[in-house]
Chain A
Amino acid sequence: MRERTRSVLGSWDTVVLVGLVLVILIGAATVDGAATPRFWRFVILEVIPIALIALPMTLVIITGEIDLSVASVLGLTCTAFGQMWAWGVTSLPALLALCLLLGAVLGAVNGLFVTGFGLPSLAVTIGTLALYRGLAYVVLGDRAVANYPPQWTTGAIRPIPGTTIPWTVLVVGVLAIVFGIVLHATPIGRGIYAMGNNADAARFSGVSVRRTKFWIFVATGAMSALAGVFWTLRFASARADNGTGLELAVVAAVLLGGVSIFGGRGGLVGVLGAVALLATLRNTLQLAYVPANTLTIITGSLLIVSVVGPNVAAAVRERLRRRRSTTSTTESAAG
């Protein structure tokens, strides 16, 4: 089945990007207020945490694993940030460094369970999803910490001079380039694709599967923590329920971006395009007075279409090919 879907998925990024352009064009033409500078400001503010987490999540899913605990890492980081601030840590670089370290440790725990003990990542990260979120509630309970200095909170979302776009999007851009280079232009990246396709073959080829996966989980934790710091400062509020449910939005965006859940396929361009597409679509429709429920239905349907579409297209192609050829000796594999 992988052979059948490859040719279609290979151009999936293009489909996503074309979709994004269409949404922008149609939105700008028909909806009052869409695709204006202010619109982009709000879209980008919303998208930054999702994009930050989607970058390492892409790598995780390409290797054939999954990490559902990202939103809980975000939440726990938010509460840690808030609690440390309440205890008197007033240096922003120190807070940032400590939070990133925390995220890396949390990711390392995931990595340890998956690569060290050989447990399935789906089950492990469902467990750590509950564990980390629970710890977030233990740290702050039901309270919120909200008295950060205004220069931090407005500073986090300050626009680049001359535009309305927050400067933090540049941070996302730099990180995206780094992840992109690692994934598409280094042996590590090729190893990631290899282990997603066939872990044993990759291991025999000299790829250190366990070590790579471990560090990808660490990176995921650190990026989730970074997203958590941004979240706290953007909303000027650290609470234990920050980011609840975000993991599904990230996974949905990554899958919509063409990354196969089986691993071994997909790329960052498609994922970032999908992240932008979902946010732009949602904001455009909200501006057009479309109720939130319809948006939920649309997101879900897009997700299903993004995986069913290639399969159906490939099946149709296969049937046409079989009808054309007179002798069909190759039978499709069981699945």
Chain B
Amino acid sequence: MAAQTALRTEPATPARSTAGARIVRRAFVVRELGIVLALALLVVVTAAVNPRFLSAQSIKDLLLGSTILAILAVGQTIVVVSRNVDLSVGSVLGLAAFATGSLFVASPNLPIPVVLLAGVLLGAACGAVNGALVAAARVPALVVTLGTLYVFRGIDYSWAGGRQINAANMPAGFLWMGSTAILGAVPYLALFAVVVLVVAGLYLSWYSSGRDLYAIGSNPSAAHLAGIPVGRRVFAAFVVSGALAGLAGVLHAARFGTLDANAGLGNELDVIAAVVVGGVAIFGGSGSVYGAAVGAVLLTTIGSALPVLGVDPFWQRAAVGALILAAIGLDRALSARLARRLRTRRGGRRA
């Protein structure tokens, strides 16, 4: 074991100082900066048209709206980076949200951390089902999560029946957490997203088990031959994605208050859009959770900005679609250029 770890960490040190790695990292930064710039541009233009866009209430709404999507996007990134996809996140969110509501209806004095934990555990259990099927039965993630999308949603409908849990049934403190903001602009809910983002970001870049996911996404067979426990890592990735979807479900309940079996319906495509726009390669191996989170914020902002800019809100969906296409086109162009530069540099050095 020690020899194996030594084998794996040894090449890492010289790699950090090669020019090739520097180019890659620069491209990475450029890509992330690109989305941030696009976001900034959008905000500036919209605020110029209508200064109310930058009011505290408006910013609070924006951050609230993107929190849940950002948390889902972080979970999805972890899965996508390893060359998988998780389409069941919307259904898991719905289940967790309804579970939260039901818990509060059953015992209204439940402390909020308990409910949060329950939601996360429920989500993790759903993720474990996905992970087991993908990792152990070696079934493609697209198919498995498509199936669990149906199964989990069906369970949600069966459980909820036609019922709807009203905001009146939820404890005031919980709803307060979901709608109040510090200084009127930074919602408490957004803090959840920030914590999740930072933890995930650190895990993926500092811990070898996090970096393993990138290796698995780049070349699964090579990762396997290098000694990475592919099955275990992929399973863990799905559990994390499920857990984050569960957390998102609890926060959804806090934000919206009224819950029925339709919560989270259709979210999965928005999440994948956010991830793709955020620079995560759909076939794995590259991308960061920070980019995905910014992608989530960008998509939400487009939704709020379009009506303010006077653009027919019906253009929003088309705009998102065009943005996705532009993003993957840009990524492909960027990675092709990158590959060319690395090739010439290597050739130059050899000569």
Question: Which residues on A are within 8 Å of B, measured CB to CB?
Answer: 1, 66, 113, 117-120, 122-124, 126-135, 137-138, 141, 248, 251-252, 255, 261-262, 291-304, 307-308, 311-312, 334-335
Q: Determine whether the beta carbon of B140 is less than 8 Å from that of A307.
A: yes
B153 at the binding interface (Cβ < 8 Å): yes
Query: What per-residue 1/0 map shows which CB atoms of B285-327 lie under 8 Å from chain A?
Result: 0000000000000000000000000001011111111111100
Shortest B320–chain A CB gap in Å is 5
Starting from the known contacts A138-B314, A294-B154, A294-B158, 9 additional A-B residue pairs (CB-CB under 8 Å) come to: A119-B332, A130-B269, A252-B146, A293-B154, A293-B155, A296-B154, A303-B147, A307-B144, A311-B138
Q: Please choose the segment from B93-101, B197-205, B218-226 that sits at the chain A interface, where 4 or more of its residues have CB less than 8 A away.
A: B218-226
Q: Which residue of B lies closest to A141 (CB)?
A: B314
B148–A304 touching, CB < 8 Å = yes
Query: Which residues of A are found within 8 Å of B142, using beta-carbon distances?
Result: 66, 122, 261
Residue in chain A with minimal CB distance to B316: A134
B230–chain A nearest beta-carbon distance, Å? 8
Q: Report Cα–Cα, A262/B85, bound state, in Å.
A: 15
B133 lies within 8 A of chain A by Cβ? yes
What distance in Å separates the Cβ of B112 from its nearest Cβ neighbour in chain A? 30
CB–CB A130/B150 < 8 A: no
What A residues does B329 contact at CB under 8 A? 113, 117, 119
Contact of B332 among A118, A262, A297 (CB under 8 A): A118
With A and B bound together, what is the CA distance between A113 and B332 in angstroms? 11
In contact, B318 and A137 (Cβ under 8 angstroms): yes
Q: How far is the CB of B58 from chain A (nearest CB, A)?
A: 24
Assess whether B157 is interfacial by the CB under 8 Å rule. yes
Contact between B149 and A131, CB atoms less than 8 A apart? no
Q: Contact at B153–A296, with CB atoms within 8 Å?
A: yes
The reply to whether A134 and B137 contact each other, CB–CB distance below 8 Å, is no
**Which of chain A's residues have a CB closer than 8 A to the CB of B144?**
304, 307-308
Q: How far does the alpha carbon of A73 sit from the alpha carbon of B203 in the complex, in Å?
A: 41
| Contact present for A127 and B138 (CB under 8 Å) | no
Instruction: Report the separation of the CA atoms of residues A292 and B157 in the bound assembly, to the nearest whole angstrom.
Output: 9
A307 CB to closest chain B CB (Å) equals 5
Pick the contact of B157: A66, A135, A293 (CB < 8 A): A293
How distant is A68 from chain B, measured CB to nearest CB, in Å? Answer: 9
Residue numbers in B under 8 Å from A294 (CB-CB): 154, 158
Whether the Cβ atoms of B137 and A131 lie closer than 8 Å is: no
Bound: A298/B282 CA distance, A: 29
Contacts of A126 on B, CB cut-off 8 Å? 269, 272-273, 276, 324
Assess whether A134 is in contact with B157, with CB atoms less than 8 Å apart.
Answer: no
Q: CB of B139 within 8 A of chain A?
A: yes
Q: Quick check: A301 and B153 within 8 Å, CB to CB?
A: no
5 nearest interchain CB pairs? Answer: A131-B321, A134-B318, A300-B150, A134-B317, A130-B321
* CA of A127 to CA of B326, assembled, Å: 9
Size bracket, chain B contacts: 35 or more
Contact A137 B328 (CB under 8 A): no
Interface status of B21 (Cβ within 8 A of chain A): no
> B151 to A297, Cβ gap below 8 A?
yes
A312: chain B residues at CB < 8 Å are 137
User: For the complex, what is the distance from the CA of A102 to the CA of B322, rounded to whole Å?
Assistant: 18
Q: Is the CB of A297 within 8 A of B137?
A: no
| Contact status B133-A308, CB under 8 Å | yes
Bound Cα distance from A251 to B224, whole angstroms: 30
Knowing A119-B332, A122-B282, A130-B324 are in contact, say whether A297-B158 is a contact too (CB < 8 A). Answer: yes
**B133 and A304 form a contact (CB under 8 A):** yes
- Complex Cα–Cα for A293 and B158 (A): 6
Q: How far is the CA of A128 from the CA of B324 in the complex (A)?
A: 8
- Report A-chain residues with C-beta under 8 Å of the C-beta of B157: 292-293, 296
Helix, strand, loop or mixed for chain B's interface? helix
Closest Cβ of chain B to A105, distance in Å, is 15
With both chains docked as a complex, state the minimum distance between the C-beta of A128 and any C-beta of chain B, in angstroms.
Answer: 6
- Contacts A134-B319, A137-B317, A261-B142; A117 near B332 (Cβ below 8 A): yes
Which residues of B are interface residues toward A (Cβ below 8 A)? 85, 133, 137-140, 142-144, 146-155, 157-158, 220-221, 224-225, 230, 269, 272-273, 276, 282-283, 312, 314-325, 328-329, 332
**CB contact under 8 A between A133 and B220, given known A127-B325, A294-B154, A300-B151:** no
Specify which of B151, B319, B332 is in contact with A301 (CB 8 Å cutoff): B151
Residues in chain A near residue B324, CB distance under 8 A: 123, 126-127, 130-131
Partner of B221, one of A132, A295, A334: A334
Query: Do residues A131 and B318 form an inter-chain contact, with CB atoms below 8 A?
Result: yes
Instruction: For the complex formed, measure the closest distance between the CB of A145 and the CB atoms of chain B, giving whole angstroms.
Output: 16
Q: How far is the CB of A6 from chain B (nearest CB, A)?
A: 15
A-side contacts of B139, CB under 8 Å = 304, 307-308, 311
Beta-carbon contact of A120 and B283 below 8 Å: yes
Question: In the assembled complex, how far is the CB of residue B222 from the closest CB belonging to chain A, in whole angstroms?
Answer: 9
Q: Which residues of B contact A299 (CB under 8 A)?
A: 150, 154
| B142 vs chain A, min Cβ distance (A) | 6
Q: State the CA gap A127–B317 with chains docked (Å).
A: 10
B75 shortest CB reach to chain A, Å: 17
Contacts of B312 in A (CB 8 A): 138, 141
Whole-angstrom distance between the Cβ of B225 and the nearest chain A Cβ: 7
Which residues of chain B are within 8 angstroms of A255 by Cβ–Cβ distance? Answer: 143, 146
Q: Give every chain B residue within 8 A of A117 (Cβ-Cβ).
A: 329, 332
B143 touches A303 (CB 8 A): yes
What are 16 A-B contacts defined by CB distance under 8 Å?
A: A118-B332, A119-B332, A127-B276, A131-B321, A137-B317, A138-B315, A138-B318, A248-B146, A248-B149, A291-B158, A293-B158, A298-B154, A302-B147, A304-B143, A311-B137, A334-B221
Contacts of A298 in B (CB 8 A): 154
Query: How far apart are the CA atoms of A303 and B153 in the complex, in Å?
Result: 14
Q: B296 → chain A, closest Cβ, in Å?
A: 15
- Decide: A297 and B155 in contact? CB cutoff 8 A: yes
The CA of A303 and the CA of B332, in the complex, are separated in Å by: 32
Are the CB atoms of B224 and A334 closer together than 8 Å?
yes
Q: Which residue of A lies closest to B270 (CB)?
A: A130
**How far does the alpha carbon of A66 sit from the alpha carbon of B269 in the complex, in Å?**
15
CA distance A123 to B283 in the complex (A): 9
Q: Contacts of A120 on B, CB cut-off 8 Å?
A: 282-283, 328
Contact B151 A128 (CB under 8 A): no
CA distance A122 to B328 in the complex (A): 11
Q: Are A123 and B276 in contact (CB under 8 A)?
A: yes
